[in-house]
């Protein structure tokens, strides 16, 4: 029976959304990835009047279909940081330029119940964008990303999200063999830059869309 599970998470998400607003983030609750995409296209994009848009790598974002949908939006220019057909040098430069976008969309490794965003990056472009740079940021997070506090977020990221993403990306890191963080020194290590966003400044610059669906890792 799915209904009681959805109802349980709806309550947790509502509490988390209130905490995010208290910490000066904007926050919305939606039922699924499709609804998250519609919210961005129909409400947030017009509100921000964004002309230049870019993205951080995110399986959650991919599930919404937004990268493809926004590429078709009239009057919008996309800095495509997801195109791995270009050279590594070009992709790196696009990630730098993305920090000047009007609107940056990404996921989050964890969101705490007291309204804090916790992320761990390989390069740092996603973490940087959440902290500073783009005029507006949209963070989309599934219910599986909700954790009690920052300590729980660190555990979730190090011992679940990072090993799974390393496996997804075919990295040769110790965690892909052990399924646990080994605090490695591998040149392919994807865990390099932490960001903990306790408050949003300026108020409302970052919008967090909480989705009552398991999304991403």
Average pLDDT over residues 164-169: 95
Q: Does some domain include residue 217? A: no
Distance of CA 21 to the CA centre of its chain: 17
Q: Spell 42-77 as b/e; 16+ CB within 10 A means b.
A: eebbeebebebbbbbbbebbbbbebbeebeeeeeee
Q: Does some domain include residue 166? A: yes
Average pLDDT over residues 52-78: 97
Asked whether the beta carbons of 153 and 194 are under 8 A apart, the reply is: no
Asked whether the beta carbons of 144 and 12 are under 8 A apart, the reply is: no
CATH number at residue 86: 3.40.50.10420
Burial class (CB in 10 A: 0-12, 13-18, 19+), 37: buried
DSSP states of 34-93: HHHHHHIIIIIHHHHT-SEEEE---HHHHHHTHHHHHHTSTT-EEE-SS-TTS-HHHHHH
The count of residues in the chain is: 217
Cα–Cα distance for residue pair 140/41, rounded to 1 Å: 13
In the predicted model, is pLDDT for residue 75 greater than 90? Answer: yes
pLDDT in tens, 129-163: 999 999 999 999 999 999 999 999 999 999 999 99
Asked whether the beta carbons of 194 and 120 are under 8 A apart, the reply is: yes
Question: What pLDDT, on the 0 to 100 scale, is given for residue 22?
Answer: 99
Average pLDDT over residues 154-181: 96
- State how many domains the chain has: 1
DSSP annotation of 143 reads: G
Q: Does some domain include residue 86? A: yes
Average pLDDT over residues 24-37: 99
Asked whether the beta carbons of 163 and 180 are under 8 A apart, the reply is: yes
Q: Does some domain include residue 45? A: yes
The band of 1, judged by pLDDT with boundaries at 50, 70 and 90, is confident
Q: Does some domain include residue 191? A: yes
Sheet holding 52-55, edge to edge: 26-30, 206-211, 136-142, 103-107, 52-55, 77-79
Q: Does some domain include residue 15? A: yes
Asked whether the beta carbons of 27 and 51 are under 8 A apart, the reply is: no
Cα–Cα distance for residue pair 93/132, rounded to 1 Å: 17
Residue 171's domain comprises 2-211
Q: Does some domain include residue 44? A: yes
Average pLDDT over residues 162-191: 95
Question: What pLDDT, on the 0 to 100 scale, is given for residue 115?
Answer: 99
Q: Does some domain include residue 216? A: no
Average pLDDT over residues 114-132: 97
DSSP annotation of 147 reads: E
């Amino acid at each position: 029976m799915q209904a009681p599970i959805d109802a349980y998470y709806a309550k947790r998400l509502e509490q988390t959304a209130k905490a995010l607003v208290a910490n000066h983030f904007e926050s919305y609750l939606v039922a699924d990835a499709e609804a998250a995409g519609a919210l961005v296209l129909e409400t947030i994009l017009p509100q921000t009047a964004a002309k230049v848009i870019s993205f951080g790598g995110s399986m959650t974002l991919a599930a919404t279909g937004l990268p493809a949908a926004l590429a078709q939006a009239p009057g919008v220019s996309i800095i495509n940081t997801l195109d791995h057909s270009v050279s590594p040098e070009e992709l790196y430069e696009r990630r730098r330029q993305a920090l000047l976008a009007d609107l940056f969309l990404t996921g989050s490794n964890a969101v705490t119940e007291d309204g804090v965003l916790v992320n761990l990056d390989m390069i740092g472009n996603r973490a940087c964008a959440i902290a500073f740079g783009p005029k507006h940021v949209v963070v989309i997070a599934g219910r599986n990303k909700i954790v009690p506090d920052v300590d729980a977020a660190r555990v979730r990221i190090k011992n679940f999200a990072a090993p799974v993403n390393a496996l997804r990306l075919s990295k040769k890191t110790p965690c892909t063999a052990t399924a646990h963080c080994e605090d490695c020194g591998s040149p392919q290590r994807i865990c390099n830059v932490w960001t903990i966003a306790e408050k949003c400044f300026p108020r409302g610059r970052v919008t967090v869309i909480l989705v009552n669906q398991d999304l991403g890792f």
